[in-house]
Amino acid sequence: MTNPLLDAWRTPFGLAPFDRISDEDFAPALDAALETHKAEIAAIADNGMPADFANTIEALEAAGRDLDRVLSVFFTVAGADSNPRREELQRAFSPKLAAHYAEITANKALFARIEAVWAGRDTAGLTSEQHRVLMLTRRGFLRSGAALTGAADARMKAIKGRLAELGTAFTQNLLADERDWFMDLGEDDLAGLPDFVLAAARAAGAEKGRDGPVVTLSRSLIVPFLQFSDRRDLRERAFRAWVARGENGGATDNRAIAAEILALRRERAALLGYDSFAAYKLETEMAGTPAAVRDLLMAVWEPAKARAEADAQVLEAMMAEDGVNGPLEPWDWRYYAERRRKADHDLDEAALKPFLQLDRMIDAAFACANRLFGLEFRAVDLPLYHPDARAWEVTRQGRHVALFIGDYFARGSKRSGAWCSAMQAQAKFPEVRAPIVINVCNFAKSDPALLSWDDARTLFHEFGHALHQMLSDVTYESISGTSVARDFVELPSQLYEHWLEVPQVLAEFATHAETGEAMPQEMLQRLLAASTFDMGFQTVEYVSSALVDLAFHEGDAPADPMDLQARVLDELGMPRAITMRHATPHFAHVFAGDGYSSGYYSYMWSEVMDADAFAAFHEAGDPFDPGTAKALEAHILSTGGSREAEELYSAFRGRMPGVEALLKGRGLAA
């Protein structure tokens, strides 16, 4: 019997045949794909012909297609619809894959061929894109330890394997804590909860097999519970469980894992000759150095902290009026902030949510992409990995551009957060491939599905990443789509959020779930006026997390990361009623893998650009100005990593921006 993961996929759009794939197919498919890839690498390394771009760099680009297909399917389901078998497979695959890729970058014969192509680059007649791919390939090998020998080479391989194991364990521990904790709500526990929260709590209860509503640790449920529940004791209980993810003791505790990860990263950087892991990691980013990151974060920290402290005094006074003694606590902030928002802006989340239907917000994201870039979206019925997932064919002027998959609802089998990934990246070599892109979110499930304003922003954010993948137009997959500097990758996503706030978009798509009426103009104006409400709180919880991440990686690895976290927050003067957005034991951005390690600041670095980039449309007098949209696609969305990020942005805007646009956009400017 053949393995459907390795068969030729004669399916619409080249999508994986999910209806024919079982969990038992993954392990044998991976083993076979690894052997194929090893043979391909050996053929490149042992080629008797003189090394050139085609037989070495392009050959590397073409290798590993079977492996890519197997992993794209496996990691899609492992992240969005896990189960015990998939978790077991992930624990087995992680060290195996780390060892495989470490073996490739440690292949001395292969690296010698790459060096030979590099040495002859100026006379090889390479295009600018080929030169970029060559440089990035060589740099990637060097930064992976290709030039190491002897004991250092062996140690690097061991470090990579162990880090892969630890990242998987961290992720699975966090998922287990989020999945296993819930709080039953009796009739006396529902005071203050609007209908949309009750509907989400009942749906969560049904998923957990309970007779009534429950609160889970899904952000889409616990945040509105903290906003609306009149029961301070229950808010405290839920909040403490939420922030304790990963530090509950026992088998799922992540604190020792975090410490070992930081120690191994420090050792890895030292083997490569860097003073710190942050210095190693930031070398290839726009920021360049830890000092540049710190300068940006501290420029934002002080005004954000001042705003948050002023807001805290207002909220504490409201609490005192309620007869609640004692200081404002973290489980009080969202509750009193929501009441203040209603008082100051006459904006009630319960009244707002019926106007933010999931399906209408999806339509809005699609409509903006149509007006800006001419993309059209047609729903298609395809076998997918979960009943909640939906698919659309994306076309432009009748030509297929991409397949887009959306998986929007929270469930116990899905890791927290929201993300975009490409199950197939755009490329023209070794054959033309259209992207298959997926957005995964964790919105509360109800009928109809209603979003908070933050949920709607998340939907637009992830769709901005999807557009970066869909509109990619390069030759080589290694520089396709979102294969860019980490502190540049958030620019398209954060920029796209701005179109959600365009009044004409909301006027058309923010329609009431029951009446179908458009959002009243007065409510729309109040909503937009409140866009920077509570921005001190939001900025403080984010920047504190980014500064702790930086501190973890700037010097020697801390023996006790929790102690260093506490010291950093103390030195910053962290407001007592605000916690880090991601405390160390559940800081998946930083510890689930290397992606955002030393790089959580990236969202803010990109935000400096996104505020300035959207200003280009304002300067043109139209948020859908065709010329500006064309330039955005030409210089940023279609170019992938074919040039340095600063060069791409400067080509679009004519210059790099300063931090002033960010402070103004967050309402923190002096």
Question: What DSSP string runs through 501-562?
Answer: T-HHHHHHH-B-TTT-PBPPHHHHHHHHHTTTTTHHHHHHHHHHHHHHHHHHHHSSPPS-HH
CA 593 to chain centre: 12
Specify whether 462 is catalytic: yes
The Cα 653–Cα 647 span in angstroms is 10
Q: Is 158 exposed, middle or buried (0-12, 13-18, 19+ CB in 10 A)?
A: middle
81 burial class (0-12, 13-18, 19+ CB within 10 angstroms)?
A: buried
CA 404 to chain centre: 17
Helix 150-180 vs helix 84-105: crossing angle, to nearest 10? 160
Question: How do beta strands 419-424 and 436-443 pair?
Answer: antiparallel
> Are 502 and 623 within 8 A, CB to CB?
yes
State the DSSP code for 634: I
CB 650 within 8 A of CB 613: no
| CB distance 605 to 483 below 8 Å | no
Cα 463 from Cα 492, distance rounded (Å): 9
Q: How far apart are CA 627 and CA 624, in angstroms?
A: 9
Which parts of 190-287 are beta strand (E)?
A: 214-216
**Tokens 């529902």 label which residue?**
190
Whether residue 548 contacts residue 579, with contact meaning beta carbons closer than 8 Å, is answered with: no
Contact 391, 424 (CB under 8 A): no
Q: Degrees (nearest 5) of the Cα angle 606, 610, 612?
A: 120
CA 461, CA 565: separation in Å to the nearest integer? 29
Distances (CA, A) of 42 to 36, 38, 46, 154: 10, 6, 6, 20
C-beta separation of 213 from 312 below 8 A = no
Q: Partners of 391 in the beta sheet?
A: 380, 405
Distance separating alpha carbons of residues 524 and 649, to the nearest angstrom: 32
Cα-based torsion angle of the residue sequence 176, 178, 184, 188 in order, rounded to the nearest 10 degrees: 160
* Secondary structure of residue 399 in the 3-state scheme: strand
DSSP 122: G
Would you call 343 exposed, middle or buried from its count of C-beta atoms within 10 A (0-12, 13-18, 19+)?
A: exposed
Is residue 345 within 8 Å of residue 526, measured between CB atoms?
yes
Catalytically annotated residue among 462, 497, 541, 607: 462
Q: Tell me which DSSP letter residue 51 carries.
A: P
Three-state SS at 127:
coil
CA dihedral of 377, 381, 384, 389, whole degrees rounded to 10: 60
Listed in sequence order, the residues at least 6 apart from 454 whose beta carbon sits closer than 8 Å to its beta carbon are 223
The first and second tokens of residue 186, run together, are: 């009796």
Q: Give the three-class secondary structure for 403.
A: strand
Residues marked as catalytic: 462
